[in-house]
Each structure stands twice: as structure tokens, then as C-alpha cells.
């Protein structure tokens, strides 16, 4: 069974089942939004409540009102017989709107279904960088992608999106960031310096026809740890580009570091991605096609996406560039934000109100200080968010637990669940949301217990061990084509070129 096997389902058969689902959702929403007025007695709840007030995370203590398990069981059975995606519609006539030509004005509240589906699509491209990443510190390939770029989307069940991966991106850093880069404990390992940080993909002919242009996607991997990583940031701004823009030192190092003595980072992540993106743009423009660049990422990946967008807009003329980020931190100063705007980069930040990471860096000194510009002048060292914001709230979903769960709040699957259920700030969670709810608990424990979905269930069978011919449980060898190899990836690259020709 593939690592990424998901739960797929089919259309509801009766009106009764649909009404049952709606009534269960509304009943549970009411139960969650009207918790008992009594004060929690245990210490954990009191600490969570204090932290909530301190950071304005809008948390609630777990409600004691419960729905009968049989109601949840009937809901679960019905949910398993519905599809996880909506039918695709042709959006060629409004692709510029979707890509942010008007900065998504009047498109985020309420959120139209055709935009929601595209946001989820790019979020799934970012999620793929986690699902395919080797986190096993006892593996000689820890820090690499488990699959080669030819079959990445097939292994992860993403071929339905109509894109092909053309190249991988690797990164290293000259700044010590133990929470950002995964290392193997073994002496003999695929790389002691580099990590797989993402990939470049391009829409196929069918998807290109549907969305109205040839879309090049860059997906950057983020960090799984929800709060520890920002402790390792240098919190120091340094110059980025040719003018006054400054960005966080650690992000800059990860994006630009290289070393001739390494196997995968003789060129930096910046050089790798720009070389591939430029190659694809030139190839499709020669054929007379309209080309766009969409860059996505979660957490740290969202920060790298902005650096990538700034560089691409500065070097490639007349290219529509859009960034769709999830749970991303602040990256640079006011000048960095202004330069992105002047370069025509469109940015949509998807943010969960309870997530800590988008508040970093600059928990205190941030864009909120601009109201004092008349007194202080523009402060070059203040971190500032970029672009339009789609704000989501954990409390809107009847499927999510209440209380303090930093990992759950920051999880990309939590984000995608909330996007799928969001219609507007004045309406409840969509009763016809189709994305599989079980995905939320892939790497956390956010779902209510009544759903009976195990916490952190997404893993290799038997945690990666296999029983050999002698009856011993051992770590298997990777398929030769899935072993990281710069030479092989170059040959795959050549193969893709020939297929395109």
C-alpha cells in the first residue's frame, strides 16, 4: 500500500442522509459554541486559558456537551459515501482574477467555490513536500524525498490535479538551524549538508486548457514543528536584492547558501529554482503560450516563496507571479513589502487565527507600528506582512477539538480543512465540504474523539520495516530509481524535455 493512501468515497444516495449530515453538523456546532459556563477545575485548562488571554488566540476550554456516539456513527458512514473533491470547472475566462490581478478584492469574504478549489489545490502541492519527505533519522536517506520526480504525484495521489514535476530543489544553510534541516544519525548517508526543500511542476495540456494558461508551480517545504523553529531564527534583517529591502537572516541563508564541496548544493536553492523556472518559461513562450508562475509553501516554505517571488519578478519581465502561502511568518521589512508590490507580485496569505507562527518574527514590533510613522518615520527594522489575508478560525469547524494545540493549529492539513469548510465570516462551516476530514489527523490530534480517527496516523506500514525471507524485520533498501542522485535527476530532466518537445 502506498504511503499516501487516502479514504476515497462516492455520492450520497438519499436526501435523508444529507439532512442527517446537516443536522449533526449544526447540532455539534451549537454544542461547541455554547460550552458550560462553569470554570475549568484542572490546572491544564487554566494554563491554556491564561495563555489564550495573553496571546489573544481565541481558545475555548473543551465543552462538556456531547452528542450520542450513534449519531456520529451514522454521520461517519454517510460521509464515507461521498466524493472528496468537487467536479472541476473551466476557469480559463477568470484566471487572472484567481491569480490575484485585483488583489482578491471582494473575493475572500464570501469565498467563491472556484477560488476555494484553486487555493486547496496549491495547498495540496505544498502538503506533498511533507508527505514525500523522509523524516526517519535512522534512514540513510533522511532529509531526502522518498520518490523520484517522475512518480511523485502518482505516489501521493495528486495526478488528478493535472501537473507534472520537472525538477527538485535542495537547500543548505550556513546558519545553524537544527529544527529546520533534518539529519540522519548514520555515518553513511545520502548527504550531510543538504535537504530536499521542494519542487517545480508545470500544468499538462488538459489542465492548461481548463485554467487558461500554462501554470508553473514552485512548492517549498516548510517545517513540521509548529513553534520550536522560530526560536532558532537569528531575528536579524539583512539586505535582499539591489535596493532597501531587508529579510530575515535565516530565511536568506537557506535560500542562497551553497558550497562547491557538496553534492547537492554546488548551486543554491535560489539558483536551482530560477534556472528551472526560466527554462520552462522560455520553452513555453517560444510556443506562443501564456505563462504564469504560482509559488506556494507552508510555514518556512511560505517565507521562501516570497523570496523566490521577489527574485523571479526582478529578473523575468512581464510574468504574472502569485504567492499562495499557508501559516507563513513575516519575512522582511516595509521596503521588502513595497518592492514586492511595485514588482507586481500578488500574495494571498492564508492564516489561522490561533496559529502562532504567522505572528513571528515581530510579535511586538510589526506592521502595527505604521500608525506611528508620522512620529517615528519609517522604521527599517520592523517586520511586515505582505499581501491579502484569508483569515480562518479553528472554532468554525464542528470537527475540531477546542483547547491549546500549537501543533494542530499550525498543521497544513488543519488549514486545508478550514479552507474547504469556509464560505464567509458570517456563516457556519459548510455542511457540503468534501475534503476528507480524516486528513486533519495525519500528523496531529485535532479531530474530536467522536470521529474515532487515530492521532498522527500517517506513516509507513510497520514504521518502514519489512519482514525478509528469513523472517527478520529489517529496513528495506530503496528502489534504485528513488535513491537521490544528481546524475539521475539530470537524466529525468532531459527525459521531460524530450517529452515536451
Enter the C-alpha cell of residue 498.
524530450
Helix (DSSP H) and strand (DSSP E) numbers for the chain:
15, 11
Whether 371 has a pLDDT exceeding 50, the answer reads no
Report pLDDT digits (tens) over 485-499: 766 565 555 555 565
- pLDDT of res. 151: 94
Output phi, psi for 407, to 5 deg.
Answer: -65, -45
At residue 437, the 3 state secondary structure works out as helix
Residue 227, pLDDT > 50, answer: no
The answer to whether residue 79 scores a pLDDT higher than 90 is no
Upper half-sphere CA count for residue 442 (Cβ side, 13 Å): 25
- In the residue annotation, 299 being an active-site residue is answered as yes
Residue labelled with grid coordinates 535560500: 255
State yes or no: pLDDT of 229 exceeds 80: no
pLDDT in the model for residue 76 = 63
Contact 245, 307 (CB under 8 A): no
Which position among 144, 268, 299, 396 bears the catalytic label? 299
Q: Is the pLDDT at 40 greater than 50, yes or no? A: no
Dihedral sign, Cα of residue 23, residue 26, residue 28, residue 34: negative
Residue 254 in contact with residue 270, Cβ under 8 Å? Answer: no
Average pLDDT on 149-169 reads 96
Task: Give catalytic status of residue 396 as yes or no.
Answer: no
Q: What is the pTM of this model?
A: 0.83
Each residue of 105-154: pLDDT tens digit?
999 999 999 999 999 999 999 999 999 999 888 888 888 999 999 999 99
Catalytic residue among 131, 136, 193, 355: 355
Identified catalytic residue from 28, 310, 385, 410? 410
Amino acid at each position: 500500500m502506498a504511503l499516501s493512501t487516502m479514504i476515497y468515497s462516492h455520492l450520497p444516495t438519499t436526501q435523508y442522509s444529507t439532512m442527517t449530515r446537516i443536522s449533526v453538523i449544526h447540532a455539534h456546532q451549537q454544542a461547541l459554541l455554547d460550552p458550560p459556563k462553569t470554570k475549568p477545575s484542572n490546572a491544564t485548562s487554566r494554563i491554556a486559558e491564561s495563555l489564550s488571554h495573553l496571546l489573544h488566540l481565541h481558545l475555548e476550554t473543551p465543552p462538556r456537551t456531547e452528542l450520542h456516539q450513534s449519531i456520529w456513527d451514522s454521520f461517519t458512514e454517510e460521509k464515507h459515501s461521498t466524493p472528496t473533491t468537487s467536479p472541476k470547472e473551466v476557469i480559463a475566462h477568470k484566471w487572472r482574477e484567481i491569480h490575484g490581478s485585483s488583489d482578491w478584492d471582494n473575493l475572500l469574504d464570501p469565498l467563491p467555490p472556484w477560488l476555494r478549489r484553486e487555493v486547496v489545490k496549491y495547498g495540496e502541492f505544498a502538503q506533498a513536500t511533507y508527505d514525500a519527505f523522509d523524516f526517519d533519522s535512522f534512514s540513510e536517506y533522511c532529509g531526502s524525498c522518498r520518490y523520484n520526480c517522475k512518480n511523485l504525484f502518482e505516489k501521493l495521489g495528486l495526478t488528478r490535479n493535472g501537473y507534472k514535476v520537472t525538477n527538485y530543489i535542495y537547500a543548505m544553510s550556513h546558519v545553524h538551524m537544527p529544527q529546520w534541516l533534518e539529519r540522519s544519525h548514520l555515518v553513511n548517508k545520502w548527504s550531510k549538508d543538504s535537504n530536499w526543500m521542494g519542487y517545480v511542476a508545470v500544468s499538462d495540456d488538459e489542465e492548461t486548457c481548463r485554467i487558461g494558461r500554462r501554470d508553473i508551480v514552485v512548492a517549498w517545504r516548510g517545517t513540521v514543528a509548529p513553534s520550536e523553529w522560530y526560536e532558532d531564527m537569528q531575528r536579524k534583517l539583512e539586505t535582499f536584492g539591489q535596493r532597501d529591502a531587508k529579510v530575515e537572516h535565516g530565511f536568506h541563508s537557506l535560500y542562497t547558501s551553497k558550497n562547491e564541496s557538496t553534492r547537492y548544493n554546488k548551486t543554491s536553492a535560489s539558483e536551482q529554482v530560477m534556472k528551472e523556472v526560466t527554462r520552462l518559461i522560455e520553452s513555453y513562450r517560444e510556443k506562443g503560450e501564456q505563462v504564469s508562475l504560482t509559488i506556494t509553501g507552508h510555514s518556512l516554505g511560505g517565507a521562501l516563496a516570497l523570496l523566490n517571488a521577489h527574485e523571479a519578478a526582478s529578473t523575468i519581465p512581464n510574468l504574472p507571479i502569485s504567492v499562495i502561502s499557508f501559516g507563513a511568518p513575516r519575512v522582511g521589512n516595509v521596503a521588502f513589502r513595497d518592492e514586492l508590490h511595485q514588482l507586481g507580485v500578488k500574495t494571498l496569505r492564508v492564516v489561522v487565527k490561533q496559529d502562532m507562527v504567522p505572528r513571528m518574527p515581530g510579535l511586538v514590533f510589526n506592521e502595527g507600528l505604521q500608525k506611528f510613522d508620522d512620529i517615528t518615520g519609517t522604521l527599517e527594522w520592523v517586520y511586515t506582512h505582505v499581501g491579502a489575508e484569508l483569515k480562518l478560525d479553528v472554532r468554525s469547524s464542528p470537527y475540531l477539538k477546542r483547547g491549546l494545540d500549537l501543533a494542530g493549529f499550525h498543521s497544513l492539513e488543519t488549514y486545508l480543512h478550514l479552507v474547504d469548510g469556509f464560505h464567509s465570516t458570517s456563516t457556519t462551516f459548510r455542511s457540503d465540504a468534501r475534503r476528507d476530514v480524516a486528513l486533519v489527523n495525519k500528523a496531529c490530534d485535532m479531530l474530536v474523539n467522536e470521529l474515532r480517527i487515530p492521532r498522527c496516523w500517517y506513516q509507513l506500514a510497520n514504521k518502514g520495516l519489512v519482514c525478509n525471507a528469513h523472517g527478520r524485520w529489517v529496513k528495506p533498501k530503496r528502489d534504485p530509481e528513488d535513491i537521490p542522485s544528481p546524475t539521475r535527476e539530470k537524466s529525468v530532466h532531459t527525459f521531460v524535455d524530450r517529452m515536451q518537445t
